[in-house]
Chains A and B, each alone.
Chain A
Amino acid sequence: MSPPPNGLKEEGDRSGRRPSSKQAPKAEGPAGRRGAQPGQKEWRRGSPRPRSPRRKPTEFRSRREELRRQERSLAARTGEARRKRDGRASLKKQRANSKKDKEVLGKEETWKQLKKPRSSSLASNTSGGESLSEEELAQILEQVEEKKKLIATMRNKPWPMAKKLTELREAQAFVEKYEGALGKGKGKRLYAYRMLMAKKWVKFKRDFDNFKTQCIPWEMKIKDIESHFGSSVASYFIFLRWMYGVNLVLFGLIFGLVIIPEILMGVPYGSIPRKTVPRAEEEKAMDFSVLWDFEGYIKYSALFYGYYNNQRTIGWLRYRLPMAYFMVGVSVFGYSLMIVIRSMASNTQGSTSEGESDNFTFSFKMFTSWDYLIGNSETADNKYASITTSFKESIVDEQESNKEENIHLTRFLRVLANFLIICCLCGSGYLIYFVVKRSQEFSKMQNVSWYERNEVRRIVMSLLGMFCPPLFETIAALENYHPRIGLKWQLGRIFALFLGNLYTFLLALMDDVHLKLSKEATIKNITHWTLFNYYNSSGWNESVPRPPLHPADVPRGSCWETAVGIEFMRLTVSDMLVTYITILLGDFVRACFVRFMNYCWCWDLEAGFPSYAEFDISGNVLGLIFNQGMIWMGSFYAPGLVGINVLRLLTSMYFQCWAVMSSNVPHERVFKASRSNNFYMGLLLLVLFLSLLPVAYTIMSLPPSFDCGPFSGKNRMYDVLHETIENDFPTFLGKIFAFLANPGLIIPAILLMFLAIYYLNSVSKSLSRANAQLRKKIQALREVEKSHKSVKNRAADRDSEDTSKSSSKTATPLQITHAEPTSHSASQSQALEKKARDTGASSPASGTLLPASQHLPGSQPPEVTPDSGKPQSQTHPWKSASRKSTQRPPH
């Protein structure tokens, strides 16, 4: 509230003239803040205020004046300097005033406080729209007065100092905030402006949230699929999207820190041998068939390891490229591990909270599934589909839980199925082993290219991959699992099969690497010899230094790192193509055939044999996971691989979305995916670990090629770390690192980590056990409560039926209150009591809960209910605050 604009003397005079108007009873209430009017209504219940010694009130007064000055800051901000000065002056005068004067003043001031809002509220009533209504103003006024009273009487409350302080601050903040609403002119406008801004801010936040939701890529597509195919199929696409996000980050890391610096600042193409296509390959280097195999110009580009130079620093930035290359390679794995584990952890956190709501699955679906705000027919169609799907999902769940089965038979069948599948896996494992061995022998006998050597192996592997999963699926039908669990088993089994694929691939690759490494020494000799001969050969004019040998002519090693990178690159691309072609042929062409040939066929194609394809969740998920494993393994040797993978994921997102919607049918038994797809994540983590091993092995124990790559010339790749620590860090840091690398320190550290893991594990186990017990307890309590209530309710219903027949409206709250076991019931039963008695006097129950109504009997108009306030979000903070203050026991 703005300060009294006039001199206080004047006011004092006027106060004498003040008629005992209608506001008088109201004015008396707030006047209590002066603390000088004993025996007022407000103090009826509390102990009478003790007469404090003379010294204390003055002290108190000065403090209060300070408070008031703070309150005035609002008016001060409006720039009414003159008025403020007046106020200050009057304050000084007031301080000099006697206590008696003060009392009179107090009355006067409060009267003014009351008067002002009155007029302003009248004004606001006509303004309508956004501004405040009269009732609200009255309410705010009342609250402000309460607060002021609280500030005034704070000193006498028997509270601890800290509490007093916090209360005081709260009250001050409140008064400052809302006094503006009651003031005239600028104060009010400022308040309205603030309110407007608050509303705008809320709206902005909401819009921003909407915007954020819209920014989630493919959300609509995935929802569309989910509504038609169920959450299990959607879980694959969500996984795909997540994977895309991870790959984007990896892509940014590698491109930003390795490839772009190399392109911008590195030695240009053609300047040194490792960046030049050799003379022998030059002719065909631009042919498409060569490029398609990632040979030729692509092989000698920044996409592959071999292109990078071993200069310690490049460009004017003195960017340490080899170091950056190494660190990026490490951080790709670090980031992936972190993100996988983090998402697993967050998934488990989310899954613990739910699980209680399965009591009323069907009721929930039946009564609440339709979204009544849908106004778009397409959305409505989707909603239809999703409701249907969700019903089907729950039907499957229900059937599973109600299934009565012969336990022994099921167990026998499950053991049998597992036995058969293990046989299959062993057989295929042996087959792989056999083929690999044979191909190794072949390679020793004949001098064929690595690619050709592996043709046989590849054919065997792809045949296994084609025939084993359906076989597993048929065997899994014996087990009679819930489809959700069945999917997990299927995933696990195919995973084991694919591991064989991975294993053979890596084994063959390792053989190749070792072969190349063994040849490297001789090639190194040849290179030296050629260069030596070139510079020292006779027949050249000795006086002119010979121009350096053209980089294309320098003989060079095979650069096994690039070869490995190319291999992964090829594998990724061929994998992608195979996936797409499979989808195109297996799903789309089949769907077209079934759809259009059905008109002229002897049996029903749609219902009969070929039918439409179902979406193969397990195959797709595993394909994605293994592909990601390839990326992790290959990205160290082929920095461009992640870029290719990003493209692949992007296209497969659109392509598969289209394929699913156009040519697949929902599963026969649509089932609900488990909320947390931690199973996928677990497989991914396993693959990540498996792909970390070979990379770590090559980095740690194989010497890098002597003439290509950022680590050439070093004994091991990680030597770049030693080099950097020795050359670029101060010596004491180097010592610290050496000390840290001491096994005497590392082993205790590892032990400590194990201990910590053990401890945390046991703690989490005990906590989860306690959690489960608590949940059980809650469940049991609810059961008891329910049965109890239902008995009571029936009795209450019978009672109420008689009374409520006359007016059905009163029956509503009656039934309601009994049905509501939560905290609502307290207030509602009060409301009920009120209604039943139909008296204006407050009942004892409400009196205890709402002391405010008794404290200020005159100031709370009965028609103003707390929730009839217009701007809901604005009213609640002060409401709760005021409640805090009023619920305190008066002393």
Chain B
Amino acid sequence: MRLYLIVSASPSLCPGDNPQATHLPRAWAPLARPPPHGSRLTADLFSTNPGALKSPVSEQTTTPEDQRSPEDPLTPPPPAASLTPEPHNPGTPPDLFESVAEGPVVVQGGSPKLSSVPLDLPAGGNGGEGKQQEVSLEEEGDEPDIFDTMSSPKLQLNQAEGDGGDEFIQITVSDPQKIGDGMSSYMAYKVTTKTNVSYFRKKHWSVMRRFSDFLGLHRKLVEKHLHSGRVIPPAPEKSAIGTTKIKLGSDKNADSGSLDFIERRRAALERYMNRTSTHPTLRADPDFREFVELDAELPRATQTSALSSAGVLRLLNRVGETVNKMTFKMDESDQWFEERTQQIESLDAQLRKLHASMERLVNYRRELALSTAAFAKATAVLSSVEEHSSLSRALHQLSESTERTQTIHHAQADADFYVLSENTKDYIQLISAVKDVFHERVKTFQTWQHAQITLAKKREAKAKAELAGRMDKVQQAQEEVTEWEGKVERSQEEFERISRAIKKEMEQFDVMRVKDFRDMVIKYLEDLMTSQQQIIKVWETFIPEAKAIS
């Protein structure tokens, strides 16, 4: 059965907006293997939102689309998921808001949970459903292996953002495929976009892109926008080991390790795309548009290859920058920046630590799932050997109960991973991007300082020339002085401009970050709670069996 569950991300809210517009972080609905189980699971989680969402399963919080203020650079919200109001309802369906506005929606059902579901949108749209949000749990039919083992919910982020009007854009990355063979093979992904933004040609379409295309896009965006003070969402990292394994392995023998890797990457790419598209400036960027729209293969972004000359150059540049970062101590006159820089640093360190402990949790829980499975088997054997019949029956039941518990643990481990750990990792990378932006500012400051110093030198040279009575030199010196005066002015402007821009971006970033974090944690707690409730059921069914031993 195919259920679709799309969670759309709401755009970051401008401060002061409807506080109840919540951003749904990427949600991971733990999909238990047996679909009915899983879907029931998420069904419990979400209270259905009558009215606007006729989703069978989950409800999503609404995107306060109409609350989007036409303010400028909204930082790309983290993949918050919110319900996308029907695109054809520009005046955001009031019911959505009402339902959200009802009391502590945050908590039960109506909480800004994102249930993500492995979503594989068929290229041609969903069977004629006009609604943009499909809420259903999807089980990948095409590639049962991958999704069965991973039961990966694909997050859909959609942001309703834009200047005026209910714009929304939703990007899914799906269908990872290996194209070609051997070392020259690569992974291609289907990028499906749904949007009502005006400058896109269509409302709903798909293109195929390969991994290096994503990286190329990121690089171009950085080149173009970083120096304007924008926070560019980071792209997923390259991984030599993972990719080589995939390249050299055959499709049939794709082991669960590679499948895991593919799924992680797919999810990361999806989050990346959605984050980027939430940012209105980035979304309007022609390279971005070409990326999502162009129906042909993009020119190979060979420059992204690590071994190319451009790659080496980039590496050298990066090294240089790092040295620069470490050595140049800026004379910070702006206290805001002083504080923020420190805060960013400590946030970074703390998040890394937190992430490490989350990874440990994931590992332990996976271990728990494995050892529980082993125990279930051993108990089954014991049950078959046991000669006392009712004890044997009870032991058999124990084995089955443990088997079910194992599934629960496994799903919870996935939730641990995707909801908590991967999101935190994304955040660490976003903080990195923030640091990059801050550093851009430092660089402009450096330029300004350098210009000032040079100006002083030029003035000095001119004065010297005047003293020496060298009229020809004076003329030249005067020109240079004027030139550098201009440069000083411009670089100062640049510096102030970027400082302002960053402050604004950071405001949005903060709001979005806080929301996202809350939502992520809430989602996770809910998942945890659901797991416990399932465990309750397992044991409740077991107890009478145990009591029946005679």
Real binding pair: no
